[in-house]
Amino acid sequence: MEQIVKTNVGLDISMETYWATITLLNSDHEIKHVKSKEFGNNEKGFKEMEQWIAQAKIETKEFHFTMEATGVYYENIANYLYEQKHLVHVVLPNKAKKFAESLDIKSKTDKLDSKALGRFGAERKFINWKPAAPIYKELKSLTRERGSYVKIRSQLKNQRHALKHSFQPNESTIIRLDTIISVLDTNVKEIEKEISVTIKKDTELSAKMDILTSIPGIGETTAATTVAETNGFSLIVNIRQLTSYAGYDVQLRESGKWKGKSKISKKGNSHIRAALYFPALTTIKYSEQHKTFYDRILGEKEKSKIAITAVSRKLLVLMYTLWKTNTKYQENYETKKAEQKAEQKVA
């Protein structure tokens, strides 16, 4: 007699509503969609969904809920389900999309998307999601606000530069651009001060930040962005998962004897990649170890952008390692370690 191995509820979430599909995986590895329904994306809708699930009278030990990280729309229901002691899984949209495409479904509706997520969560094993700690949530809000201002400021500076070097530029336009840029400069400085104050509130986080900023090129804002986007690396279990989450995982393009160009996916957290770009340029200047690594990659690939990306990835992995081991950065650590072992053997 077949038994239920796993019960998963796929949730396709939009701003005002969401579709839920109850999906079962049985002991014969067969998938069965029990039923689907649309609910309001609010607490009333969450409670109605729980009652709807209870009415299905499914004999199972636990319910899993799988959803995409769709902007901020998933946050309320994810937090609600977590508080109700359910197992919550939040997956990257690109992974959910790839899985849905593998099912060869011709149509696309919210209901069908919830079915795909129902099957995705039933067939695969995901890490259990948990809410970000309040301090990381606060830092994420601040660092993302700063990032948006920096991006706008950069665009306006480029616009001003082009205008100043054009034929007979409009001086009034340049003045207005200067005014806006000045306001953005002030806002960025204020946010950076607020980030520092937020970090100092937490003794443990402050100590951890001292570790991360011991790495050449990594400043407080970069470190704050990275820990905020990863919730203090709490859901990261290995380096492979970390690089995939940040979009630094390498995509190979090979078939038989044909070999195409390998490239990073860029399908992960863009905020981390943006935060690490300029620190990578800085660490190349001030760290002999990273400069050597950069030159080696540059020699192999003959493209500076690829080498800088490789350094950015290396910085991220280093931050994760030092965070987990609670140790500060040491230049040429591996070389020194090898020398110490050699000395011990001689002794």
322 and 209 belong to one structural domain:
yes
* φ, ψ dihedrals at 210, nearest 5°: -60, -35
60 and 80 belong to one structural domain:
yes
Q: Where are the alpha helices (DSSP H) in 213-269?
A: 220-229, 239-246
pLDDT at 1: 55
144 inside domain: yes
- Long-range pairs, 120-124, Cβ under 8 A, ≥24: 120/10, 120/66, 120/91, 120/96, 121/8, 121/9, 121/10, 121/23, 121/64, 121/65, 121/66, 121/89, 122/6, 122/7, 122/8, 122/23, 122/24, 122/25, 122/31, 122/64, 123/25, 123/31, 124/99
Give the CB-side neighbour count of residue 57, counting CA atoms within 13 A.
0
- Residue 288's contacts (CB-CB under 8 Å, 6 or more residues apart) are 331, 332
294 and 226 belong to one structural domain:
yes
9 and 86 belong to one structural domain:
yes
Tokens of 78: 């994810």
pLDDT at 334: 59
Question: Could you tell me if 23 and 31 are in contact, meaning their C-beta atoms sit under 8 angstroms apart?
Answer: yes
336 inside domain: no
Closest to 197 in 3D by CA, of 209, 214, 184, 183: 209
Which of 148, 175, 200 represents a domain boundary (last residue)?
200
92 and 157 belong to one structural domain:
no
Place of tokens 């609600």: 80
Query: What's the sign of the alpha-carbon dihedral 331, 335, 341, 345?
Result: negative
For residue 40, the domain's CATH number is: 3.30.420.40
pLDDT at 112: 96
How many domains would you assign to the chain?
3
294 and 216 belong to one structural domain:
yes
211 and 309 belong to one structural domain:
yes
233 and 274 belong to one structural domain:
yes
pLDDT at 10: 98
168 and 249 belong to one structural domain:
no
pLDDT at 253: 47
CA R_g for the chain = 24
Which of 200, 231, 246 represents a domain boundary (last residue)?
200
Q: Which domain holds residue 306?
A: 202-330
Mark the ranges of the chain whose per-residue pLDDT is less than 50. 252-260, 338-339, 342-343, 346-347
- The helix (H) or strand (E) run that includes residue 112 is helix 110-123
pLDDT at 302: 67
- Indicate the SS3 state at residue 11: strand
Which of 123, 141, 161 represents a domain boundary (last residue)?
123
342 inside domain: no
pLDDT at 61: 86
pLDDT at 33: 97
Place of tokens 């970090």: 199
238 and 272 belong to one structural domain:
yes
